[in-house]
């Protein structure tokens, strides 16, 4: 089998997947997007399949070029017949919070109200009609980067140092207090529910809730605790910013259905969708769609299985299927 091309820019996040591919003896080729190049008029790489794992937060790691590279390289692969997991459509959605809001609106899935922002000096104007508090965030997000909360219109009107990120556009969006101080993340693969976790965030200002690079103190589901696995742990795949509590739970059927509809409409092969239950009305609101889908740290302890292994096996099966199609 020809190798699977893995397009990425964060070694720590990809280490578990590479290890799972190695265990399954699935050949793969690494494409480090931060310093990669390609000939737009040349042939595609000899890959059975390509996997896009470029993060919108790459510019925070001095890898801003990876985003532009992926936006050009993924369509190039698709035009030349290379199947791409989380391809160009999914990546456009991943790198545009505004497009995510538009998709949720088309699907009729509640989300915090927001307005498009192209000039930081006009943030207060853009927020007219929104309910405070609000947050200002870059259109190209990732890891809660550069997000700011403002409790009153006066606070927003006097803000002078708003940073809208690498493409200079952003959103002003209503900030919804959670009913229980937690948010939920539902992960899926190939149109099927994988698992759900609840992340408790004690801070009202810190928006980095990536479950793959935080130290976590959480409880495993009952079937895992019964095996003698620890109910609390402290593991990270990279330098941790702070501890957060993460718990596995069974997501409500209506939210699982909403997440899978998002995945289908957004053409996401694998991903995670985050939502919260708002304190003001007790209703769930989706606020983030993640095509990158970094699985939670120590998932085997927390949710009872290793999603990286499941993902690796699925990638291998899809790559073999694409080889059969190419041979016919």
| Averaged pLDDT score across all residues of the chain | 87
Q: Cβ(7)–Cβ(31) under 8 Å?
A: yes
Structure-model confidence comparison of residues 97 and 293, the more confident one:
97
Class of domain 4-93+310-327: alpha beta
Higher pLDDT residue, 220 or 279?
Answer: 279
Where do we find the tokens 């596995």?
248
Q: In the chain, what percentage of residues exceed pLDDT 90?
A: 69
The distance in angstroms from the start CA to the end CA of the chain is: 15
Q: How far apart are CA 249 and CA 58, in angstroms?
A: 30
pLDDT at 243: 60
200 three-state secondary structure: strand
Mean pLDDT in residue range 201-205:
59
pLDDT higher than 80, residue 9: yes
Instruction: Write a three-state SS string for 102-168.
Output: HHHHHHCCCCCCEEEECCHHHHHHHCCCCCCCEEEEECCCCCCCCCEEECCHHHHHCCCCCCCCCCC
Q: Are 194 and 248 in contact (CB under 8 A)?
A: no
pLDDT band at 123 (very low <50, low <70, confident <90, very high): very high
Query: What DSSP line would sit under 244-276, residue for residue?
Result: EEEEE----HHHHHHHHHHHHHHT-SEEEEEEE
Q: pLDDT tens across 210-260, in order? A: 555 444 444 444 444 333 333 333 333 334 445 678 899 999 999 999 999
Q: How confident is the model at residue 147 (pLDDT cuts 50, 70, 90)?
A: confident
pLDDT at 270 over 70: yes
The per-residue DSSP string of 36-56 comes to ----TTSPPPS-SEEEEE--G
Q: Among the listed ranges 67-76, 163-172, 234-243, 307-316, which one has the minimum average pLDDT value?
A: 234-243
Calculated CA dihedral for residues 153, 157, 161, 164, nearest 10 degrees: 70
Domain boundaries of the chain, sorted by first residue: 4-93+310-327, 114-174, 178-305
What's the pTM value of the predicted model, to 2 decimals? Answer: 0.87
And the tokens for 299?
A: 């998932």
Of 14-28, 36-50, 141-155, 166-180, least confident by mean pLDDT is 141-155
Looking at residue 58, its pLDDT comes to 81
The pLDDT score that the predictor gives to residue 101 is 96
Nearest to 100 by CA among 130, 141, 129: 141
Q: Please report the pLDDT score of residue 202 as a whole number.
A: 64
CATH (residue range 178-305): 3.30.470.20
> Is 178-305 the same fold as 4-93+310-327?
no
DSSP 281: T
The CATH code for residues 114-174 is 3.30.1490
Q: In whole angstroms, how far apart are CA 35 and each of 55, 62, 94, 143, 218? A: 14, 11, 21, 22, 37
3-state SS class at 192 = strand
Per-residue pLDDT band for 143 (boundaries 50, 70, 90) equals low
């Amino acid at each position: 089998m020809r190798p699977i091309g893995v397009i990425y820019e964060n070694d720590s996040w990809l280490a578990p997947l590479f290890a799972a591919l190695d265990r399954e003896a699935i050949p793969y080729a690494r494409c480090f997007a931060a310093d990669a190049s390609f000939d737009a008029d040349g042939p595609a790489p000899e890959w059975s399949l390509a996997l896009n794992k470029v993060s919108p937060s790459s510019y925070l790691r001095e890898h801003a070029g990876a985003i532009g590279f992926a936006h050009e390289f993924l369509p190039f692969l698709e035009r030349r017949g290379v199947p791409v997991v989380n391809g160009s459509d999914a990546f456009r959605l991943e790198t545009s919070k505004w497009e995510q809001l538009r998709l949720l609106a088309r699907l009729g899935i509640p989300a915090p109200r927001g307005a498009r922002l192209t000039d930081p000096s006009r943030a207060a104007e853009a927020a007219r009609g929104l309910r405070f508090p609000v947050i200002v965030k870059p259109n190209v997000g990732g890891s809660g980067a550069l997000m700011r909360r403002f409790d009153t219109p006066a606070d927003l009107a006097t803000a002078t140092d708003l940073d809208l990120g690498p493409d200079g556009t952003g959103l002003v969006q209503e900030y919804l207090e959670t009913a229980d101080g937690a948010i939920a993340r539902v992960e899926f693969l190939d149109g099927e529910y994988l698992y759900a976790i609840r992340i408790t965030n004690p801070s009202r200002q810190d928006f980095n809730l990536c479950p793959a690079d935080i130290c976590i103190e959480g409880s495993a589901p009952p079937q895992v605790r019964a095996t003698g696995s620890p109910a609390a742990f402290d593991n990270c795949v990279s330098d941790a910013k702070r501890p957060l509590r993460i718990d596995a739970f069974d997501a409500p059927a209506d939210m699982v259905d909403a997440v899978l509809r998002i995945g289908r409409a957004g053409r996401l092969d694998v991903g995670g969708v985050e939502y919260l239950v708002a304190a003001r009305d007790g209703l769930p609101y989706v606020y983030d769609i993640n095509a990158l889908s970094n699985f939670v740290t120590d998932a085997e302890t927390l949710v009872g299985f290793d999603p990286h292994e499941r993902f690796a096996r699925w990638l291998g099966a899809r790559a073999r299927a694409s080889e059969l199609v190419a041979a016919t």
